[in-house]
Amino acid sequence: MDVQIEESWKKVLLQEFSQPYFAGIVSFLKAEKSSGKIVYPPGKFIFNAFNTTPFDKVKIVLLGQDPYHGPGQAHGLSFSVPNCIPQPPSLINIFKELHNDIGLAIPNHGNLTHWAEQGVLLLNASLTVRANEPMSHSKIGWSQFTDAVIKKVSEQKNNVVFLLWGKFAQEKQALIDSEKHLVLKAAHPSPFSADRGFFGCRHFSKANEYLVQHRIDPVDWKL
């Protein structure tokens, strides 16, 4: 399978694409399609996070767990939804924290492409999901692929900020060299947990302060 992925990522991840587990992912997705299952995001968006944020530009990694599983929501960027799609509850809470942290007005859409274009890798641990079945593709090999992505960023780059929200994301800390990167942890922004440490975490300002300290352009979080 010739994976349609941005060139700098293709070089970094070349050996992953030739691994048996990756062939297994491709076979599984083909079987889903041939049996009439609806899979999100659409094929052209599966690697959207990589195509929008080249490896050379990554300055922040924001790790999500699973693509949205409702119609029209997932477009390959963690926590993000396309324009004209209502903001999901976790994203609403992200915007509340952004407002409280640095005073930005809450946007009227949920499309985070502007962040991705500036170097925020919006990475889900699983890159696909079956319609209306959360975590349905979590065991098909994607975690091996995205763990490799996190490791490559950690090994080959310096002074990247990793935003790990919730227990699942925080389990990925073992893949990150915290001696040369900043790891910021908080509760997940879900309504079930946001008031247990996500609200008030101030990760947006902390991330930019760290980037500026290391002479890296800060992120313009305004959407």
Catalytically annotated residues: 66
- Check: CB of residue 177 under 8 Å from CB of residue 150: no
Terminal alpha carbon distance of the chain: 35
Please tell me the distance from the alpha carbon of residue 87 to that of residue 142, in angstroms, as a whole number. Answer: 25
Quick one: angle between helices 203-213 and 89-102, nearest 10?
60
Least Cα distance to 72 among 49, 40, 47 occurs for 40
Burial class (CB within 10 angstroms; exposed 0-12, middle 13-18, buried 19+) of 146: buried
Reference 141, options 123, 128, 153; nearest CA is 128
C-alpha distance from residue 211 to each of 52, 66, 95, 101, 121 (Å):
20, 27, 21, 17, 15
Q: How far apart are CA 98 and CA 217, in angstroms?
A: 18
- Report the C-alpha gap between 94 and 134 in whole angstroms: 20
